[in-house]
Every structure is written in C-alpha cells, then in structure tokens.
Structure 1
Amino acid sequence: MISDIHGNVAALNAVLADAATRHVEQIVNLGDICSGGLFPRETADRLMPLGFPTIRGNHERQMTEQAPECMGLSDCYAAETMRPSQLAWLAALPATLLLFDDVLLVHGTPDSDLSYFLETVTEGGIRPATRTEVAQRVGSVEASVILCGHTHLQREITLEDGRLIVNPGSVGLPAYDDDRPFPHLAESGSPHARYAVLSSEGSSWVVEFLSVRYDCEQAVCDAEANGRKDWSNPLRTGTV
C-alpha cells in the first residue's frame, strides 16, 4: 500500500521498483497523490496507466473543488501544472473504497479526509492515539482491515475486536508541520520513501513497514527550483 506521494515521482519510482522485487500482488493508493512542489503531472502520468485501486486525499478534494485563491501553495502549483485530463482523474476518485468486502481504504478516517486516525494532536503536540481513541474513530465500520494515510507516519494498531488499522507512511514527503487543531510536527526522522506490505497468514494479517532509499538530494534541488525551500529539510532529513 502506498500513500501521500505528493508529486515526488522519484520516490514513487523507487517504491514501485522495490515492490516489484517483493512480488506484491496488489498495490493500493491512499491519496494525496500529486499536490506539492515537485512533479505533479509526471506523477499522474506514472500512475494513471497502472490502474491501482485509488482513493482521493484531502489535497485531491481541495485541488478539484476549491477556487484557486483558496488553495495553498502545494495545491495551487499542482492544479496549475496538471493537464485537464489528469485533474479529471483526480476529481473522479472516491473518498473511500471497499476491497474484497473486508478491506476499507480511507485517507484520514472513514468520516473525514482531514482527521488523524492513529495519531492524536493536543496542545503538547502529536502523539500515538490510544486504542480507545482509534475505536471511536472506526465507528460502525465493519471491515476487518482499514488502510489509512494522511499523517505520513508508519503505524499499525489492532483493536480488541481484532480489527486492524494500518498507515503505510508517506512515499514522497517524510515530514511536515501543521497548525490544526494545534501546532504540531509529523516527522519520520529520515528521508526515505515509505510504504507497507500487508499479507495474510492463515486467519491473521501481517504488516511489513518498508523504507526505500532514493536520490533525495535531487528532490531537494527540484523542490527549491520550484520555489519550495520549505520542503528542503523535510526531504533531506525527514524532520521539519
């Protein structure tokens, strides 16, 4: 499973190459695909022919539903750069998707593409969510596996009833800062491209979190050339 590529096509290519060596049967894409200061058009060109089960993230929604003057820098750059056919592809993506009647794809939580699933933000910053908090966010969803993204942090949690929630981390942006609902930093701590592999062993699921090296220094140069020096440290170090 992949998520939060954010237009980093070099990181995406590294992840797809690594997944090919592991004989992954199905790749799913959990959103926030093209928005950013790197290569939104090239990222869409790479993914669209592959036909992966794909949902939209908050950035796809913002890019295709908001007026340009309401967009942030990342969404505005992508919206201005991408071709109409690519924007139409993003606009048509579903908010959630149920696979195999038992695996649900969401970006944030089942109810919101902006809410954190496996993390909680307080005035003191970001922390791992408790099982009680996660169970409340699952709500009435009956799927035994829920795959989510949005926070860019690799994490899994199994609830008392056996339901598994997994975040594969971010392919293309290993750190960011936000001020909602309180100022906080989400940092993976290294520049690697991240994804995860989910496999079944009998009646149980096994999650393997993976980190893949790629030319992050070139990505830094590309971001800076596109006016995004704020991406330099996150891409280079995985910290803000």
Structure 2
Amino acid sequence: MWTVEIIGAVDGRSHYELPYITGLLATDLQALAVGTAFVGRPGTLIYTNASDVIKVRSDLELTASQARAWMWRTLQKERQLAVHHPFKTWLLITGQDATSLVASICPRLEPLHMALKSASERQRNLVLLTAVFELYLTVAKTAGEKLDEGLSNFAVSAEGQVYYLDDEYYAWDGFVAFSIMLGVFIRSFIWFDAAFIEELGRNLVRLLRGVFQDSECQHVIAGQLQSMFMPNEQKEHLLQRLIKVLQHPSDAKPTSTSTSLLSTAVAPKAAKRQASGRYLALLADIHANYPALTCVLDYLKAEHINEGIVLGDIVGYGPEPQACIERLQDCGFQAIKGNHDYGVATGDTAKGFSREAKMAIDWTIGQLSADYRQWLNDLPLSIQQEDWYAVHGAPMDPDYFYAYVYAMTYQDNLDYMQQNGMGLCFHGHSHIPGIFARRKYNDVQKTGQIISLAAYQQALVCPGSVGQPRNGHTDTQFAIYDKELRRVSFMQLPYDYQSVIAKMRQCHLPEAFALRMLHGR
C-alpha cells in the first residue's frame, strides 16, 4: 500500500487527484525494453494506462526530507526551462516500510524513437526533429546545460507538441554530443535522403542563428561532423550533404542520393588547394602588422617557397588589416580563421577578449568593408590533410580558436591527437614558437632553430607570431616545414617594428599593444 504526497506540477496547477494516482500505482508494472515505447535507466519503474504514466525513480535512495528537497529543486528548474509537459507533477511515494521514493506523473506521450519510424510522414518527421533541436539548443543557450540526446527522452503529444521526458541535465560541451547525435540520426534512419537532410540542415542553421545569434556555431558543428564514421558510402554522402548545408546554407541544392555528394562538399577557397611541394611555410598571428607580413612573404618568395598555411588571426591589435588581407589574397597561401578574425567578421566579442582587444576589434571593423569581413568569415576553422592538421587554437578545442596549447594543456592535446590518429598539428594563438612532442608516451618541449620531428609519433608545432611575438623578441617570426625530412626550421627576421608602433599610436589603438611590440611580450 502506497502513501502519496503531491509536490507540485510544472505549470503550478492541480491536474491529478490522489485516488487516481494510487489506483494507477496498483496496476501492473510496465516492462522496459529497447525498441519499445518504454525505455529507461535501471531502477526506473513505470505504471501506465491509456492516458497517463507514473515514473518511479527507485534508483534515488533518499529520505523523505531529502526527496522533497530534490524534487523542489528539480521542479524549479523545470519551470525555468519549460521543456517538460506542463502537467508533469512530482510525487513523494512512501511505502509500508517507510521507504521514500521520488516519482512523477504526466500525460502519456508518444516517444520520438517510435514516432519517427514511419518514412511516409516526412513533413511530420522534419517538424519533430526540428523541435528536438530547438529544445536542446535553447537549454544550451539559456542554462549552459544539455539534454540527453537519446530520442527516447523526447516525446510528442496528440497536439503535436514535443517535450523532454528525462529528469536529468548535463554539462554543456559546445556541440560535441549534439554533433554525435546528428551522426547517429544519419546512421539510424534508413529513410533519410539528401532532400530531407538538406531541409533539416537549413532548419538547424536557422535555429542556431536565432538561438545563439552566432553564425559560427554551424561551422563548429560542420567541423565536428567531418570526423564522424559512417557505415557505407550512401550514409557518407548524406553526412557530407549536411556538412555542405551547414557550411553554405544559401548554396545547397537538393540532390539525388545517386549523385556523389562528396564532390559537392566544397570548403571555403582558402582550404581547397592541397600542398604538394617539399616546403610549407607556417605563418600565424599576423595581427594586421603589414611590414612584418611583407618581410616574411618577401623572404619566402626569394627562397622560392610558394606554399604556406596562415594559422589564423590575420587581423586584430594592429593598424593595417586591409593591407594584410589583400597581401594574403594575392600570395595564394591557405588560411584558417582565428578568434580575432571571427570577432571582426561577426562583431561577436563576448568570449575570450580583453577590454583592449575588444577596442581593437571595434576599430578594425570600422576599417574594413563588408567584402573583407565576409572574406574573413568564409575562412575555414581548420584544414585536414593526409599528414597534418592545422587549427588556430588547439586540436582538442571544439571551438577551434579559443583554447591554448601551452605547458598546462599540451599533454591533453597530445592525448587527443594519439586517440584520433593525428600525427602532426600546426597551430597558432600562443605567439610562442616551439614544439610539444611525444615519443612512446615520453613528452618533450623543444625550442631552437631547427627541430626534427622524425622520432616523434605526435607533435604540436607553433611557428610563433608574425606580427606580435611574445617570447621576448621583436623580430617577425615564422617557420618552414620540410615534409621530406620531417623537420621544422624556426625563423626570425628583423623589420621596422618602430614604424608599426608609430602607426598604432596614430590610429589611437590601445597603448598596451604598442608596448607589446616594443618589448616582445
């Protein structure tokens, strides 16, 4: 015999009478099984009829006072997030042995892992999956948490409203689990085709821009999907189609699944060309320092090195952003996006910028036309080739250009590279030239003019900063990678940095940046 205490409903109203609840608890337990309407964690007890469901959390071992406190906290959060059915009502159930159990009752809904089985209801399926995305992304933005991605944790009412069923929330991980969820959808639903993927992708882009007010999110997801495993060529084509839509939503057109979609997943212009020569120039953190960039590019031209990768932060801090962009466009080097490039392209400086850096970004925005800012925005977040990977920040950073590789983080990044079969990563962001490398779990940090990578299984290489060195030197810094010998040459060249300081002051940029140039710190 159960004693039931009603704690409260999500909408604050009364929807269930005690005799009805105790009567439902007297029915037989509903079996839980994968692939059926009721799936749950061990310790979940389900009592149901045609209209309502009681879920008992026998896995929570709490006293009555602890259970009440737990449910009140949970209820307040559910009212704040508004992702559960408004009728959901929390219950304290006490048995004859004085055992206290946490439970809830709510209307019986159709779980989405069952609702999405029918291939004939494509428009309804599109609406349901889009609704899941909206719930998930809204919670991420407003609460900094994520919902459980399993479709059995979402359900639809008879009126077509989608709700969250689980009682738990998890730490937001910057779209990592969300990207995995998208990959699982592609692998799981045999009725997915290119047309459906494209429309779903467009809906996702609209949601990302509406919820996060940030066009970069879709590129973060696209980057994470690049490494997703697909079981066959057809599924790989669908994955690449979704990546294409996320990268270029205005360009994507419906395509038959018989067409090779791999060929349509075109990266931004800077990422197209495959480096094929022996030497690869490595440039990073130019920061609108045109004399330094000119010094480096003139040297490389004289040495007949015509292939290179610019590891982000073309602009920011310095006084000549347009001239630097034009020079890089002319030289034909590949380039990726850094956090300052992103800030100037989008105007978003909410994360990762000091007050002075924000001032410089605001100034830079005023110096560049919409076309130049669009060029920055179109730069890829990373470049993956057969024998190397390039990113501005750190290889394990899901945001690509905020995290640093330095003494406190390099081992985690080497772990990530080893786990993902990645041997060599070029990065910027730290402004400090050198390498971190691993040989049979023996990790080292090395600096010097020439460093061989031949003995190492994993290596992180930073060429230093072209435009704003921070290792005590005022010379411009870059590196040259010899692919045949697997050797990095770190270069420093003198240039007229005093003229850059004078121009920074003339443009009324923060004095802190001029002092950095003066002292190389």
- C-alpha offsets along residues 126-161 of structure 1, whole Å, 9 cap, x if unaligned? xxx55x333235364423211000010001122125
Asked if 1:159 corresponds to 2:434, the answer is no
Q: Distance in 1 between matches of 2:439 and 2:302?
A: 34
Which residue matches 2:339? 58
Q: TM-score normalized by structure 1?
A: 0.82
Q: Secondary structure, in 3 states, of the residue corresponding to 2:335?
A: coil
Which residue matches 1:105? 390
Q: Distance in 2 between matches of 1:35 and 1:92?
A: 17
Which residue matches 1:117? 405
Which residue matches 1:145? 424
Which residue matches 1:74? 360
Question: What amino acid is aligned across from residue 200 of structure 1 in structure 2?
Answer: K
Asked if 1:86 corresponds to 2:365, the answer is no
Decide whether the 8 Å contact of 2:414 with 2:459 is kept in 1. no
Decide whether the 8 Å contact of 1:118 with 1:134 is kept in 2. no
Per-residue deviation, 1:84: 1.3
Q: Secondary structure, in 3 states, of the residue corresponding to 1:232?
A: helix
Q: Distance in 2 between matches of 1:88 and 1:14?
A: 26
Structure number with bigger Rg: 2
- C-alpha offsets along residues 163-187 of structure 1, whole Å, 9 cap, x if unaligned? 221000000012xxxxxxxxxxxx3
Q: Distance in 2 between matches of 1:98 and 1:163?
A: 15
Q: Distance in 2 between matches of 1:74 and 1:222?
A: 13
Q: Secondary structure, in 3 states, of the residue corresponding to 2:286?
A: coil
Which residue matches 2:512? 230
Cα distance change on mapping 1:67 and 1:113 into 2, 3 Å? closer
Per-residue deviation, 1:25: 4.1
Question: What amino acid is aligned across from residue 173 of structure 1 in structure 2?
Answer: Q
Per-residue deviation, 1:209: 0.5
Q: Distance in 2 between matches of 1:142 and 1:63?
A: 34
Which residue matches 2:467? 172
Decide whether the 8 Å contact of 2:387 with 2:423 is kept in 1. yes
> Relative contact order (C-alpha < 8 Å, sep 6+): which is higher?
1
Q: TM-score normalized by structure 2?
A: 0.39
Q: Distance in 2 between matches of 1:63 and 1:141?
A: 32
Q: Distance in 1 between matches of 2:502 and 2:328?
A: 23
**Bigger fraction of residues in helix:** 2
- C-alpha offsets along residues 13-66 of structure 1, whole Å, 9 cap, x if unaligned? 001112223332411100000122310111111111222111000112222233
After TM superposition, where is structure 1 displaced by more than 4 Å over at least 4 residues in a row?
67-71
Aligned residue pair count: 215
Decide whether the 8 Å contact of 2:477 with 2:491 is kept in 1. yes
Cα distance change on mapping 1:224 and 1:141 into 2, 3 Å? farther
- C-alpha offsets along residues 111-135 of structure 1, whole Å, 9 cap, x if unaligned? 2311112343xxxxxxxx55x3332
Cα distance change on mapping 1:79 and 1:138 into 2, 3 Å? farther
Q: 5+ unaligned residues in a row in structure 2: which ranges? A: 1-281, 352-356, 441-456
Cα distance change on mapping 1:140 and 1:68 into 2, 3 Å? closer
Matches within 5 A, 1:8-23: 8-23=289-304
**Range moving further from structure 2, 111-120 or 208-217:** 111-120
Q: Distance in 1 between matches of 2:494 and 2:416?
A: 33
Q: 5+ unaligned residues in a row in structure 1: which ranges? A: 121-128, 175-186
Asked if 1:7 corresponds to 2:288, the answer is yes
